[in-house]
Structure 1
Amino acid sequence: MTAREAEGSTSVNTRENGSGEEPVIRDNRKIDPETGKARETGNGEAEQAEQAEAADAAEQAGSSSAAGAAAADSADAAGSDLASVELAAQLAERTADLQRLQAEYSNYRKRVERDRAVVKEMAVAGAVAELLPVLDDIGRARDHGELTGGFAKVGESFEAALAKLGLTSFGTKGEPFDPMVHEALMHSYSPDVTEPTCVEILQSGYRIGERVLRPARVAVAEPEESTPADN
């Protein structure tokens, strides 16, 4: 407490009346000299009003902050949902790309394996085709009874080795003539056939798998031509 507050301050005003001037004394001291307690100022109600306004402003600010927080939470939730949708779309796209790559790789592997098989078959076919004249000689020697003794064993081993490589012979007497696998060296007519027929196998044909190395050379007979009856 300062000396000024303890002693207090007074203001003296004068007012005019009919009899003269009368001093008006106002005690502006903030401390009551008798009780020693602070006096309530005349503007207490204003201060209370200001405090109430400040409380209302704080409450409004709190409500605005809560609303802003709720809006922020809602925006975060919406952003999280959008991110989840985008992530799911990216995952589906990557999965489709992986499946497409797997299918392409599977097709590529099958194509490579097929090409390898074709190249191998062509290589074997080219090598075996050069040995077909040897097979013809062995066959003729067998037909004439000249394939005997050790030479017979060699011929059988040679034929077995070529069979392991996939070589097979075709061409049988009496089978229908097929220009895709038969080569007609002789042609005749016969009443014993009803369609073009291989009546003699002059040279056997050979194939590896579905590839024909050499057509069977045959003699073909066709049905006799019918003549119109005399009138």
Structure 2
Amino acid sequence: MTDAQEPAAPEAPAAEADAVEETVTAEAPPEPEAEEEKPVEGEIVDEEFTVHAPPTEAPNQAAAQGTTDDAHQHGLGAELAALRTELDERTRDVQRVSAEYANYRKRVDRDRALVVEQASANVLGALLPILDDLDRARDHGDLVGPFGAVADQLTTALTKFGLTVFGAKGDPFDPTRHEAVAHLTSAEVTEPTCIDVMRRGYLLGERLLRPALVAVADPE
């Protein structure tokens, strides 16, 4: 037999080799995944960080916010000005009321004093004729004994109410307090002088109850 007629070699072993290779490939274990490295205690680890820029507001929004703040401040200023104006008005009202009350108190006190003085003047004015009779009795020497003591006590009591007697010989003539009923000339005086007193005058405090009746001597 020749080489051309030799039977072909069987292909089974090649097929078996492919099957074995597929089996080995299928059963090959998966490669282990790389473990994440853990930081060692005490080791400084550089960490990446990202700087976030603050969000920028839109121009329109910033302008609107500024306008709102200005309006708010303007409103507060107006309210404060109104409060100050009202406070000034109330202060002036209090001052005016205080001044009016002070004037009212002064007027009431003055009117009360005038009423008391007028009442005293009326009572004492009614007693002046009695005092004139006592003066005449004293001038004639009749005011002695118990009657004289009573007269003195009456005069002392009336003096405590502010009654003051004036008018005596030798006093300078005062037209606001003396009523001249006679005028003479004398070389013994250098100014108008009371040389005789017909009736004494009386004062209640600074108030003239009655002028004194006198004779006046003028210098020559």
TM over 0.5: yes
Match of 2:212 in 1: 216
Cα deviation 1:43-91 (Å, max 9, x = unaligned)? xxxxxxxxxxxxxxxx999553443233112211111011111111211
Given the alignment of the two structures, is residue 124 of structure 1 paired with residue 134 of structure 2, yes or no?
no
Cα distance in 2 for partners of 1:139, 1:60 equals: 113
Cα distance in 2 for partners of 1:69, 1:151 equals: 105
Cα deviation 1:3-54 (Å, max 9, x = unaligned)? xxxxxxxxxxxxxxxxxxxxxxxxxxxxxxxxxxxxxxxxxxxxxxxxxxxx
Query: In structure 1, the residue corresponding to 2:203 is in which secondary structure?
Result: strand
Query: In structure 2, the residue corresponding to 1:222 is in which secondary structure?
Result: strand
Unmatched segments (≥5 aa) in structure 1: 1-58, 225-231
Aligned amino acid, residue 217 of structure 2? A
Given the alignment of the two structures, is residue 84 of structure 1 paired with residue 87 of structure 2, yes or no?
no
RCO higher in structure (CA 8 A, sep ≥6) = 2
Query: In structure 2, the residue corresponding to 1:198 is in which secondary structure?
Result: strand
Shift of 1:142: 2.1
* Matching of residues 64-213 of structure 1 within 5 Å: 64-213=60-209
Cα distance in 2 for partners of 1:172, 1:103 equals: 47
The percent of aligned pairs where both chains have the same amino acid is 52
TM-score (norm 2): 0.69
Cα distance in 1 for partners of 2:182, 2:95 equals: 60
Aligned amino acid, residue 212 of structure 1? L
Aligned amino acid, residue 206 of structure 1? Y
TM-score (norm 1): 0.66
Kindly name which structure, 1 or 2, has the bigger radius of gyration based on alpha carbons: 2
Shift of 1:120: 1.4
Cα distance in 1 for partners of 2:81, 2:131 equals: 73
Unmatched segments (≥5 aa) in structure 2: 1-54
Aligned amino acid, residue 83 of structure 1? E
Cα distance in 1 for partners of 2:196, 2:210 equals: 17
Shift of 1:112: 1.5
Aligned amino acid, residue 98 of structure 2? Q
Cα distance in 1 for partners of 2:57, 2:217 equals: 114
Query: In structure 2, the residue corresponding to 1:131 is in which secondary structure?
Result: helix
Cα distance in 1 for partners of 2:215, 2:163 equals: 24
